[in-house]
Structure 1
């Protein structure tokens, strides 16, 4: 009961704090169970989700152990390379639709150039600066999935208004007109098979040189007015390009050369940003790769975000998202790359980025081929933790329904919760409290339930007539005289003789004090009293003697 009461008070507090706030915070996602992944296991792995709609966001968490600590790396939106290079690589590539999430992991392709050194997470090897080096051949993996109604209404959205293609323009500009830098931007790419990929902010291979090489993906960045997309484009090298693909070394080959673009951007209230820190990082700059958090922070719900902002160059002030794993090590085969890699746990965020010869931000080669290039050896790197534990849906204390194809959310009054026989119900926004009517008793079930934007929580709470062994009602009738006698009897039984109390007895006796200081104080008091009496006596004697002499 105490836990339920605390939960109720907490939810009411949140409703009071965020009621009327234009920027309701993000609600906790649906989270799958952790699954153990083993080296070179079959790919892809499919994880069903219960949303029955296209998610607004999917996050793949890859949990590994380094020393005595666990760290969370993240999935990647497209496979930017195959296994033709013999150096280590790592990561998990994901796509999703309205019923499941597909995870593509490194496998033995069986080709003449197969590379079996692929792991589920990779820090980039010795060429990357970071707190430790790691390539992880086993991991625990799960997915976090948010529906549209789990987010507040976007400050900007663009649904199927643009298309990216390997044969289209070098880049696409999408003005967001918010007037400031968004805190969070999601760019989803709807592929021809109706699966969704997500744009990235890092590049791990410059171009595909030969016909059996493949490079795929879309790079995304934004500034205070604009969101820009650079697709992998044909026209350079002789390999295969796509806006999304998986190829040899990742499972069955899948390639998409165009996609429809869906964009949402938010500016959150300051209370929704639990942590933010920015440092200038790069070649020749000494700064710790480990950022302690004032947590611990909830890794089940909160969003951990790392971004790199260009300081100069053609895309100065554009913000690029960091990667959750190093897809390559930046060796000669990959030519020029640009990336910041991050991993996190409840108490810290760790960062890795290339040393000399490569970049934190790179646009060039196949990425926006024909567009101005960017090579940043230093960048402003920001680490954020965004709160995602709201109890209210995107509509606040209203029912929420969504249409992902139009990125539309509609709000309507919350339906009434189920009635429980012999119980009162108190509805406060998205919270209902059940209490039993007079004469009925609770079974101890959950009496506080919440509306999640789709339906009310279920509960086993009920109220029944108390059993005879629990409570036996009785009626006693007294006349007035008898009632007075009972009152006098009760008062007599409750009365206490003050002379029988220990406090009264202590007031009549002196407490013994054996301390020397107490004795010294007593002696000093006796001396003072004696001296005073002696002086008075001497004065009287002098007067007496004078009177005798006068006779």
Structure 2
């Protein structure tokens, strides 16, 4: 077994002088929705109902078949390439505004290729990608989660409205370096851009930690770019394409993504926001070294305890770079491969990203295997080559954050009865209860539940929202001002 470090932080562990915060429950969470590349299901519009731009958005991608069935992958914020190259590519991309989240899978638009290369889940192919259980699947499930900005945990650092422009001849519009003055690594960092031009003005795109594809020149069928970022204990660095306009892109989803089949319309300009959160409660943390420099490399890790991926947690995978101008910086992992085997490629890397997926008990990774690929790739065509990076080796940091507080023992209790509407069977119900009633005793709650065909009973402390399961008196989880039915514990009437 190769060198790896595992650190388990147990629930309710008390760390002296350290106060842990919680992001809080998402204010919107969708069901698992079917998405399918190369079909009319390649484009989903999911209304979040927040009446404002979410402060934080997460789109999870679950494999429904193949060797990674039920594993969770990451959606990303940029299409990176179109459908015209004779190379496989894949993944799920998303953008969002004050009304909805748009989620897209690959779909051939005008490509002359008879083969439809784009898929929903793609982990690459040997020898260009290394890892176990390589997969290429057209169909997947997606789940959208949104946090309302006004009710989200206050960031320990934030700055908004920084103008950036792909294709600009000004360094300061294609590369930003911002000091966060925290003197420590933030627990979670998100960078996004409010797009100004292109097909999606007013929509937001989230930045990624690596370029997935890079070209030696920009021309028809060879347009890429995006918004990339990294951070350390003092600074946040942000890159976008510096390839001369109109070829450089901050965001692209045209010609090969979703159902609209538009052939032009890249986004080049946006207002960039940065948010960082500190001292988040960590449920599990694992680190491991990977890359050709580590002879006993592993691509699958058994988690030390079962991680409740179906419950209210948030995961984070970052890569700490071990060399180059960004040594010590953390770059976010990615959710899919976008191969570049035919083009001579950009410098110092022609494709990149560290792909990861997880379930309750296992974390899997895939990394570039060719010398032209890199787990962290920041091409010379971004930020005029400022702090460009190509790293095959690194340290992976996997964290699972608990986003809600556990109830304390011996809290005074009241009872809440949640009524759910049947969906045509004795075991399936819709997400939201059709009624919530607070009761003073368990019998009264059961009596109210008997009016409906489904019921979930909780002991509930009205002031602190501390919740207990009345069946076995075990503690459930909660957060102040959260919605009880967001926990989705269900039971049928006898």
* Common fold: TM-score over 0.5: yes
Instruction: Give the Cα separation in 1 of the matches to 2:329 and 2:482.
Output: 41
How far off its partner does 1:213 sit? 2.6
2:366 corresponds to 1:367 = no
**SS in structure 1 at match of 2:266:** strand
How far off its partner does 1:131 sit? 1.5
Q: Deviations over 1:442-463 (max 9, x none)?
A: 64566635497668769xxxxx
2:200 corresponds to 1:201 = no
In the other structure, the counterpart of 2:122 is 122
For residue 269 of structure 2, the aligned residue among 249, 258, 268 is 258
2:191 corresponds to 1:187 = yes
Task: Report the TM-score when normalising by structure 1.
Answer: 0.66
Aligned 1:241-256 pairs, distance under 5 A = 241-251=248-258, 252=260, 253=262, 254-256=265-267
Task: Report the TM-score when normalising by structure 2.
Answer: 0.73
Asked if structure 1 preserves the Cα contact closer than 8 Å seen for 2:78 and 2:94, the reply is: yes
Higher Cα Rg, which structure: 1
How far off its partner does 1:21 sit? 7.9
Q: Deviations over 1:469-503 (max 9, x none)?
A: xxxxxxxxxxxxxxxxxxxxxxxxxxxxxxxxxxx
In the other structure, the counterpart of 1:230 is 239
2:357 corresponds to 1:343 = yes
Q: Deviations over 1:25-52 (max 9, x none)?
A: 1222232111222341234321111222
Asked if structure 2 preserves the Cα contact closer than 8 Å seen for 1:52 and 1:99, the reply is: yes
For residue 435 of structure 1, the aligned residue among 421, 437, 440 is 440
In the other structure, the counterpart of 1:87 is 87
The structure with the largest helix share of the pair is 1
**SS in structure 1 at match of 2:298:** coil
Instruction: Give the Cα separation in 1 of the matches to 2:115 and 2:287.
Output: 37
Asked if structure 1 preserves the Cα contact closer than 8 Å seen for 2:35 and 2:43, the reply is: no
For residue 299 of structure 1, the aligned residue among 280, 305, 309 is 309
Asked if structure 2 preserves the Cα contact closer than 8 Å seen for 1:212 and 1:239, the reply is: no
In the other structure, the counterpart of 1:545 is none
2:140 corresponds to 1:139 = yes
Aligned 1:118-517 pairs, distance under 5 A = 118-126=118-126, 127-148=128-149, 151-167=152-168, 168-169=170-171, 170-192=174-196, 193-207=201-215, 208-235=217-244, 240-251=247-258, 252=260, 253=262, 254-269=265-280, 272-285=281-294, 286-300=296-310, 301-328=312-339, 332=343, 334-335=345-346, 336-357=350-371, 358-390=373-405, 434-435=439-440, 443-444=447-448, 448=460, 450=465
Instruction: Give the Cα separation in 2 of the matches to 1:280 and 1:289.
Output: 10
Q: 1:341 to 1:67 in 2, by over 3 A?
A: closer
Aligned 1:5-24 pairs, distance under 5 A = 22-24=19-21
Instruction: Give the Cα separation in 1 of the matches to 2:191 and 2:223.
Output: 22
**SS in structure 2 at match of 1:369:** helix
Gaps of 5+ in 2: 1-10, 408-415, 417-436, 450-456, 466-477, 486-494
Q: 1:340 to 1:67 in 2, by over 3 A?
A: closer
For residue 38 of structure 1, the aligned residue among 31, 36, 54 is 36
- How many residue pairs match? The answer is 400
In the other structure, the counterpart of 2:59 is 60
Q: 1:162 to 1:391 in 2, by over 3 A?
A: farther
Q: Deviations over 1:175-207 (max 9, x none)?
A: 100111111101121112211110101112223
